Amino acid sequence: MILVVGDVVDDIGVRPLEPVNPRSDTRSEIRMTAGGSAANTAAWLGFLGAPVRFVGKGGVDAPGRHGGALRDLGVDARIATDHELPTATIVLTLDEAADRTMFVDRAANSTLTVDDLPADVWDDVTWLHLTGYTFFDDATRPVALELVAEARQRGVGTSVDPSSLGFLQAAGADAFLEWTEGVDLVVPNSDEARFLTGSTGPFIDHDRLAEHYPHVVVTLGQLGATYVSHEVREQVVAPRVPVLDTTGAGDAFTAGFLAAWTQRRDPAAALDGGAGAARRCIAVRGARP
């Protein structure tokens, strides 16, 4: 069982259909879809057939609406309720390259505490996955740190996706490395990896990241992804397919990687699994299967 803990979000995607008209109207395609980096990863894991449990927190409608959507994909969803704040919302604007800029209101996500974790949350768990958002938020960081400590005590594998270059830069590389000390696998994108290693040019110092984590996977967008450990290097090339929406592609990749990695520690097979899930994600609107 893979335990995923973190954000659940309502994504509002805005794709302008014409040049933006400042201070006036712009014809656009606007869709609200389920999101949240952690919830997206859980959704893809369930879709891919991996046993997965998700814990998060939302507004009063979240357990039914978001919990139901996750359960439809095979996820054991445990969503706590905040009776004052709404479910988190992100507005995403998509550019001509289908890449996105995000405006974030964390709302109920910021109220997740250890008391929201069910008593049986660790039952049958062999792997824990967290995203950077839980670490970057001062209110939820204690939850992330306690989960990592508990996983290490139980002998459960752990992975973290930094998730946000902006929040990572605000926190600082040293702080993030300290918070995630002892984590087995980190999955940054290329920009996050450069920041964590202090790289200023196009080169990513994978070996420096591997000094902090036993297993490192760096996603490289259209160039694919790279796996590095102390003994092994593997790379997968991204397939050339039409891109409709990049939202959630990293979450899908992480899910595809973990679904294979938790079955057998084969970096090449796990990279292929990640690339396959990401390919399916970028072909549809929204961040979920």
Could you report the per-residue pLDDT of 27-56, keeping only the tens digit for each?
998 889 899 999 999 999 999 999 999 999
Amino acid letter, residue 14: V
Residue 283 has a pLDDT of 78
Residue 186 DSSP SS3 = strand
pLDDT tens track for 48-89: 999 999 999 999 999 999 999 999 999 999 999 999 999 999
Asked whether the CA dihedral 193, 196, 202, 207 is positive or negative, the reply is negative
Q: How far apart are CA 217 and CA 20, in angstroms?
A: 37
Average pLDDT over residues 192-196: 94
pLDDT of 260 reads 97
Written as one letter, the residue type at 49 is G
Angle ∠(164,235,35) on CA atoms, nearest 5: 30
Q: What is the mean pLDDT of residues 156-175?
A: 96
Q: What is the pTM of this model?
A: 0.92
- Cα distances from 146 to residues 93, 128, 229, in angstroms, run 35, 12, 26
- What are the sequence ranges of the domains in the chain? 2-281
Q: What is the mean pLDDT of residues 178-199?
A: 94
- Contact of 91 with 12, CB cutoff 8 Å: yes
Cα separation values, 108 from 78, 84, 132, 276, Å: 14, 8, 16, 32
What is the CATH code of the structural domain delimited by 2-281? 3.40.1190.20
Percent of the chain whose predicted confidence (pLDDT) is above 90: 71
In the block, residue with structure tokens 């891919």:
48
Strand partners of residue 79:
56
Angstrom CA distances, 117 to 6, 97, 131, 150, 196, stand at 11, 39, 16, 12, 30
